[in-house]
Amino acid sequence: MRRDERIDKIDELVSSKHDLLSHLRDQSVSTQAQLSESLGVTVATISRNLSDLEEHGLVDRSDGQYSLTTFGERVLKRNIQYRADLAEVCTFETVRSIFDEAIDYHAPILSDCEVVFSDQKAPDAGLNAIRTEVQEAITVRAVFDSLLTSYFSVYFHSSTAPKTEITYVVPEDLSDSLRLNYRDMIEEVSETQPIELLLTPNPVEYSITVTEQRTGEKQTWIIAHSGSGVEALVRNDAPEAVEWAESKIEEYIGTASELDI
């Protein structure tokens, strides 16, 4: 078998027999009967799969018990890392698609970030991920691309910490909606918190937030919306990501004027 063919075959085996190989890694040694019971497949299937893995040097057999070879351990480790890298790339591509490719692959917000997708089973997943941060922060600065009640009201809930700064920027085309739907909420918050509302003439492609906690730690996240709510949230507390988000917010503030409620 040529070298390339062997590589292709091993790649195929590790991908198709990943659960079996992972079980052997975790259990050190196992019999066919044990593997059959643990993985929920027939002994005949286990026997056939083990024969393929043994033939290509991934598995060793001794006294009816099977274990990974050193080669098998190394190949599995590389395969797991490859799958993790592939999952990360696919997640990034999904994020960029949801955000209409408005975010570059190399944007600091995407480096070692947390991504939360909302769906029908967990429609509030994105909101739940940020609720505590907003409530406990001492400063909140945000640019909004949407005024959906389920999302926007999170930023006006009763806080567990007094704020030293609240700065919210909204696009001009949402100003009427803001006055109509949130005047009472804004006036209530304004009685106890220093809030600044600004209008920007620039289009806002996605929401951006930076918060600072009493400990001095900062968090940032960006949010994309669908017609019914938050579709995806990308969160990061790395200094580079926070700096990236703060520069985006400053750009909008630089174009904005005060909103008169």
Q: What is the pLDDT of residues 122-176, one digit of tens each?
A: 556 677 778 888 888 999 999 999 887 777 778 876 556 678 889 999 999 999 9
First-residue to last-residue Cα distance in the chain: 76
pLDDT at position 205 over 70? yes
pLDDT at position 195 over 70? yes
What would the mean pLDDT of 79-90 be, rounded to a whole number?
90
What would the mean pLDDT of 76-94 be, rounded to a whole number?
90
pLDDT, position 148: 79
Cα 126 from Cα 118, distance rounded (Å):
6
In sequence order, the 6+-apart residues with CB closer than 8 A to the CB of 197 are 168, 170, 178, 186, 258, 259, 261
What would the mean pLDDT of 172-195 be, rounded to a whole number?
86
pLDDT, position 122: 59
Q: Determine the residue type at 206.
A: Y
pLDDT, position 188: 83
pLDDT, position 159: 59
Cα 170 from Cα 94, distance rounded (Å):
26
Instruction: Quick: pLDDT tens for 206-259.
Output: 999 999 999 999 999 999 987 667 888 999 999 999 999 999 999 999 999 998
The sign of the dihedral angle between the CA atoms of 109, 112, 118, 119 is positive
**Cβ count near 182 (within 10 Å):** 20
In the chain the domains, ranked by start, together with CATH numbers, are 3-78 (1.10.10.10), 104-258 (3.30.870.10)
What would the mean pLDDT of 71-87 be, rounded to a whole number?
93
Say if residue 119 is exposed, middle or buried (CB neighbours under 10 Å; 0-12, 13-18, 19+): exposed
pLDDT at position 23 over 70? yes
Angle, CA 145 vertex, CA 154 and CA 120 arms, to 5°: 60
The structure tokens listed for 111 are: 């480096």
What average pLDDT does the structure give for the chain? 89
